[in-house]
Amino acid sequence: MKQPLNAKQFSVLFLLGLAGLFFCFAAFNYVVDPLQNYRETTWFQPLYSKEKRYQYPGFAKNKTYDTVVIGTSMSENYLASDVDSIFHGQTLNLAMSGASAKEEYLLASLAINTRQVKRVIWGMYYTAFTFDHNKVSGSRMGSFPDYLYDTDLINDYPYLLSMDTVNLSIKTIKDHQVPDFETFYSWYTDYKYGLSVMRQKWNSRSPNTYTRKNTEKEKINIEENIDKYIVELVRKHPEIDFYFVHPPQSILYHVNVYDQDPEVFLNSMYLKKYLFEQLEKYPQVKIFDFQSESSITHNYSLYKDLAHYNVSINKFILEQLKTSQYLVTKDNLDYYVSEPLRQLQEIDPDTYTF
């Protein structure tokens, strides 16, 4: 007759069983790899996730491309097909809504470290550069997955042992409809545009969205983020062409910001000046500014809110990157820094209607 297990033996067997269970979870998630962190999906239909902070590191490491788009929601509608046709390359858009400068840098670095990138198109949305230089964000799946932003398998246990990953792995091996990759990660078909939409956004604008307690600290953050995450990357990679784009938010966006806190608006103009001054010595860098183009910024039919425009403007911007019309130079820098202020001062936010 077998002797019953003593406490020590039971504990050992329990721990071995638990370890075996964890190993099975990890092995299952590693083989299926639903977020394509280790390889592109070939055994199953790919599963695309809106959790971009978790999905995009794998895309950056494993997809084939020579052009990468970096930025926030302002850059999510640069369609890869449009970039490909204009630059005659193969494009991966890694723009993320609400991205901080650090998050943008981490994705750009992952892409560049694959040694296949020839050009980077980087949307310069002001807010991303006002955060502390360590700012990152989490999502529904958890805190920011910094362990996915390297090539070290050892620290990937939160991904390999996660029940969220298990659920995604199960969904991956089941039959599922695969959405169009290009439109799935853009948002231009999800919203209405036009005067009535803009009128509603203007009339319902919050009075304190852009009020800041410490605009001097934001100015310091702008400098630190540009120095740490842009200048260093550019300096290390003279073989890569960098295109930095100041996007054309509507004039009402700037009016609203200036009305709430003039220093916040002036800091956004300072960002443009500081960026140019730090990068003008690098021949592989071009900076384009569309914020003074009134045919866009005063045409409210193009916008879904005070800042975000429709996809036709994204394509227009891409086409201009092949010209010099909106190229910032030493000779026109002052114009691009001062012109938005001149235009917004023509509008009285207290009486303006349209």
Confidence (pLDDT) at 351: 86
194-203 residue pLDDT tens: 999 999 999 9
Higher model confidence: residue 335 or residue 179?
Answer: 335
* pLDDT over 80 at 212, yes or no: no
Whether 239 maps to a domain, the answer reads yes
Number of domains in the chain: 1
Whether 299 maps to a domain, the answer reads yes
Question: What does the DSSP assignment read for 202-271?
Answer: HHT--TTTT--S-HHHHHHHHHHHIIIIIIHHHHH-TTSEEEEEE----HHHHHHHHHH-HHHHHHHHHH
| CA atoms of 163 and 28, how far apart (whole Å) | 11
Whether 5 maps to a domain, the answer reads no
Confidence (pLDDT) at 44: 82
Q: Lowest mean pLDDT: which of 107-121, 166-180, 284-298, 311-325?
A: 166-180
Q: What's the mean pLDDT in 221-237? A: 98
* pLDDT over 80 at 9, yes or no: no
Tokens read off for 36? 């394509």
Q: Could you tell me what percent of the chain has a pLDDT over 70?
A: 94
* pLDDT over 70 at 51, yes or no: yes
* pLDDT over 60 at 224, yes or no: yes
* pLDDT over 60 at 114, yes or no: yes
* pLDDT over 60 at 228, yes or no: yes
Q: What's the mean pLDDT in 26-42? A: 90
Confidence (pLDDT) at 3: 65
CATH code, domain with 82: 3.40.50.1110
When pLDDT is cut at 50, 70 and 90, the band that residue 210 belongs to is confident
What residues make up the domain containing 243? 55-136+178-344
pTM given for the model: 0.93
Whether 49 maps to a domain, the answer reads no
Residue 210, CB half-sphere, CA atoms under 13 Å: how many?
A: 19
Whether 34 maps to a domain, the answer reads no
Q: What's the mean pLDDT in 146-160? A: 93
| CA atoms of 288 and 273, how far apart (whole Å) | 12
Whether 164 maps to a domain, the answer reads no
Q: Lowest mean pLDDT: which of 70-74, 166-170, 233-237?
A: 166-170
* pLDDT over 90 at 193, yes or no: yes
Residue 151, CB half-sphere, CA atoms under 13 Å: how many?
A: 9
Q: Are the C-beta atoms of residues 241 and 284 closer than 8 Å to each other?
A: yes
When pLDDT is cut at 50, 70 and 90, the band that residue 341 belongs to is very high
Average pLDDT, the chain: 92
Confidence (pLDDT) at 208: 80
When pLDDT is cut at 50, 70 and 90, the band that residue 176 belongs to is confident
Q: What's the mean pLDDT in 256-276? A: 96
Q: Are the C-beta atoms of residues 319 and 352 closer than 8 Å to each other?
A: no
* pLDDT over 90 at 2, yes or no: no
Q: Are the C-beta atoms of residues 172 and 32 closer than 8 Å to each other?
A: yes
Residue 243 to residues 78, 240, 247, 278, 288, Cα–Cα distance (Å): 13, 10, 12, 14, 7
Whether 143 maps to a domain, the answer reads no
Whether 309 maps to a domain, the answer reads yes
